[in-house]
Structure 1
Amino acid sequence: MVRHGTFAYTWDIVGDPAAAERIAGLGVSTVTLQAAYHSVRATTPWHPRHRVVQADHAAAYFRLRPERWRGRLRPYPPGWGVPDEDRFGTALAALTEAGLRAEAWLVLTHSSVLGRDAPDLTVRNAYGESYPYALCPAQPAVHDYALTVVREVCEQYDVPALMLEACGWLGMDHVGHHEKTSGAGLSACGRALMSLCLCPACRTALAGRGVDTGELARDVRAAVDGELQRDVPAGTSLDEALGRERAQAVYDHRDQVISGLVRAVAELAGGRELLLMATDDPQVTGPDVGIDLAGFDAPVDAYVLKCWGSEEAALAQVKAAASRTEIPLVANLTVLEDGHARIPALAADLVAEGARQLRYYHAGLGSPARLASVRAAARMKEREC
């Protein structure tokens, strides 16, 4: 059978006695439940006590044990929604009682509040500018912080799986702060160049791979300024803009850091399933790590592929990934976009192209009509897909 699941926030469930049964009524078997998450403003259409949650900073929704945090980076507790010192635990218990399988949703390197606290541990572009929302995973302190998040969840909660989001680099693209970066006309390649991290840790690692990082920074700035100021295309890819050898050094550096982090998480996971939000393109930065799915050297139980936007692109992505890896694929569909009525048919098509599981985004954010689309999709049996 195809496993159907949905995403949920803890504030959708804590303080709402009907929430877990309402989610179970969608027909899904699994809930991907927020344990560590970035800042967001979210509607809560079903909650009896609030309608909008303003999560002003990244926070840990699990029980914080101060003595376990020894480094510079320490998660903040949430200060919104219904007060509860262990919101993840409370929501987990409610979902379990409703017969649902809950997996921990962990956002590891995306935290504006921690980036502002420790700007030296963030991604730095070729101009020396910090992206405060993006902790650099090549920094040992960030690596240790991410593993402490995982360790704390694994030690405190009996969850069967961990879904890892943002366990690599976040780059130029980031929605927030009334984003005003699109009008400058940077191409996809230009934005990829602006997403290259040249913090001290990344410079050292790239230099160890034979890259002259000073020259690399100058070349990146020249290519980006060419697009911004003279409409001169930087190229179609990092390979073209930087040259194959330097681009490959960047990809190898990223792969080493991301796979090392995932291997360390696997050691802490104690046999729990690891689901990695990913895309099969090592040029990509963001919450879905850009890796070579066929050659990724870490013990992952499934890759979670974001199947939002164009249906054709989503189907092509899953088909291509299924042809390159034997690791099971989880298709992440959103019901929040227009065309949500197509979700049942799209889910069936994605399974036909190779998806083994489906996750629907998002049980707490969807309108009645959108959640009806989830309910219809979840009724499908494997033979119908």
Structure 2
Amino acid sequence: MKTSAFLYPWDVVGDPDAAGRIAGLGVQQVTLASAYHSTRALTPRHPTTRIVTAPYAAVLYPPDEKRWSGRERAPRVQNWTPGADPWAVAAEALADAGLQVHSWVVLAHDSRTGEEFPGISVVNAYGDRYPWAPCIGRADVRAHLVELAAEAATRPGAAGTELESCGWYGFAHLHGHDKVQGVPLGEAAQYLMSLCFCAECAEGYTRHGLDPDGLRAAVRRALEPVWAGGGPGAAGWAGVEELLGAERAAATLAWRREAARTLQEAVVTAVREEAAAPGFQVLLHADPAFHRTGANVGVDPGHILSVADGVVLPCTGGDTAREAVLGPFGGRGGVVAANFGVVSGMGGSPTTLERDAAHAASLGATELRLYHAGLASDADLTAVSDALVRIAG
């Protein structure tokens, strides 16, 4: 199975041994971030630094001034990795080490832009805005994301791309000093807290037979038992129907499906038109449960595999969780990449990679992704390398 490791450019830039070390793991590809959200990251093997702080979402290459001229918003340029084009420097080093390079593009996840342009953000039923979550129901947001994807995905030297957050973002967010765990929110409550009530979404709900004000009130009523400590309720979509009612829940999903599907179609089309490399591969980080939001956006398996070349699916966890994610994609064709966390300190399990990869393959996975070679300890990387030797065996 073709295997790719995720990396940031700062894992490679300034470390002459990085590319060879990654190639020595036994992977064939690197998925290298070209547009990424704010983060604080460890660089455990870099010769000159240990912590990289990226305070805002940015591109890791010089954006084309002509492309963005006259637009209200343009991608921010990073200033935490040396050089004008750290993506290109890292990509060249990795290619010289014999690795294929694909870009890694984060789209609908940008806190700083949401703070500066609050009107573009998802706004919940209580009127609270989520600055990290641009609303993909808005035409201006969609136009920006399509343009960003076309530029960031098709960097010179990239043979393909993986698009993260290409759909709805919502309540869940790995935020600095989070204090939102006081009341446990199950999957259904998180969906209700992720519904957007901006003007564009109100129009969308209306087209699908909902009164936006009535929906807002229904969401708030449905969440009252949750705030009172009534527990997270039923899991999955059944829990949403239990809280909101099946008919109303279905109508909200119809609008969100319309917005997400058309955005994904537009993004993939723009990337393919921009790509110079023949056979340029376009994958989406995804989840088969359409109501889910975040980095791995909910998709319709049949639809997304008719649009993109495949998907990258979160597969860290037990067999049951892996079966739920991979099962709906099995046998449909296209690339089905199983994404495993291999950083022990972040919940990954590099020591079980061989067994977990075999299970994923039995469910239809065609490729492997390893998150994240730059963040992992030496011990984690040794376990990964040993597993890949046995898998190739």
Residues 53 and 232 of structure 1, relative CA distance in 2, 3 Å threshold: closer
Q: Which residue of 1 aligns with 2:74?
A: 74
Amino acid at match of 1:374: V
Task: Specify the code of the residue in structure 2 equivalent to 1:51.
Answer: R
In the alignment, residue 89 of structure 1 is paired with which amino acid? A
Distance in 1, matches of 2:220 and 2:157, equals 48
Question: How far apart, in 2, do the equivalents of 1:312 and 1:232 lie?
Answer: 23
1: CA distance between counterparts of 2:177 and 2:65?
Answer: 34
1:234-253 correspondence runs (5 A): 236-253=238-255
The within-5 A match list for 1:15-26 is: 15-26=14-25
Structure 1 residue runs of 4 or more that deviate by more than 6 Å after TM superposition: none
Deviation string for 1:60-117 (max 9, x for gaps)?
1022223321332222111213x21111111111111111111110000101001101
CA contact (8 A) 2:101 2:157 kept: no
Q: 1:326 and 2:333 equivalent?
A: yes
2:269: which partner in 1? 267
Secondary structure class of the residue paired with 1:84: coil
Instruction: Letter of the 2:341 partner, please give it.
Output: T
Q: For the structure 1 residues 358 and 218, does the alpha-carbon distance in structure 2 shift closer, same or farther, using more than 3 Å as the test?
A: same
Q: Give the deviation of 1:55 after TM superposition.
A: 1.0
Does the aligned pair in 1 maintain the 2:5–2:27 contact within 8 Å? Answer: yes
CA–CA distance in 2 between the matches of 1:127 and 1:244? Answer: 22
Counterpart in the other structure of 1:371: 381
Report the secondary structure of 1:35's partner residue. strand
Once residues 318 and 267 of structure 1 are traced to their aligned partners in structure 2, the CA distance between those partners, rounded to angstroms, is 25
Alpha carbons of structure 1 residues 187 and 268: separation in structure 2 relative to 1, 3 Å: closer
**Identity in percent:** 36
Cα–Cα, structure 1 residues 370 and 114, in superposed 2: closer, same or farther, change >3 Å?
Answer: same
TM-score (norm 1): 0.93
For residues 248 and 370 of structure 2, what CA distance do their matches in structure 1 show? 38
Deviation at 1:255, TM superposition (A): 2.1
Once residues 153 and 355 of structure 2 are traced to their aligned partners in structure 1, the CA distance between those partners, rounded to angstroms, is: 36
CA RMSD of aligned residues (A): 1.9
Gap change, CA 1:262 and 1:338, over 3 Å in 2: closer
Instruction: Pick which of 346-355 and 333-342 moved more.
Output: 333-342
In the other structure, the counterpart of 1:217 is 216
- Alpha carbons 1:126, 1:221 under 8 Å: kept: yes
Q: 1:232 to 1:44 in 2, by over 3 A?
A: closer
For residue 377 of structure 1, give the secondary structure of its aligned residue in structure 2.
helix
Judge conservation of contact 1:16–1:48 (CA < 8 Å) in 2.
Answer: yes
Aligned equivalents of 2:327, 2:185: Cα separation in 1: 29
- Structure 1 residue matching 2:307: 3-state secondary structure: coil
Conserved? CA contact 1:5–1:30, under 8 Å = yes
Which stretch of structure 1 is more off in the superposition, 8-17 or 336-345?
336-345
CA contact (8 A) 1:226 1:233 kept: no
Q: Could you say what secondary structure the match of 2:330 adopts?
A: helix
Q: Quote how far apart the aligned CAs of 1:188 are.
A: 2.1
Report the count of equivalent residues.
Answer: 380
Paired amino acid for 1:121? I
> Are the equivalent residues in 1 in contact too, given 2:146–2:266 (CA < 8 A)?
yes
SS of alignment partner, residue 133 of structure 1: strand
What's the CA shift for 1:18? Answer: 1.4
Secondary structure of the 2:360 match is helix
What is the 5 A alignment of 1:8-157? Answer: 8-69=7-68, 70-81=70-81, 83-153=82-152, 156-157=155-156
Structure 2: where are the runs of 5+ without partners?
A: 273-278
Deviation of 1:218 after TM superposition, in Å, equals 0.3
Any idea what SS the aligned residue of 2:33 has? strand
2-structure distance, mates of 1:169, 1:111: 12
Q: What is residue 355 of structure 1 aligned with on the other side? A: 365
Does the CA contact (< 8 Å) of 1:73 and 1:142 recur in 2? Answer: no
1:292 CA displacement: 2.2
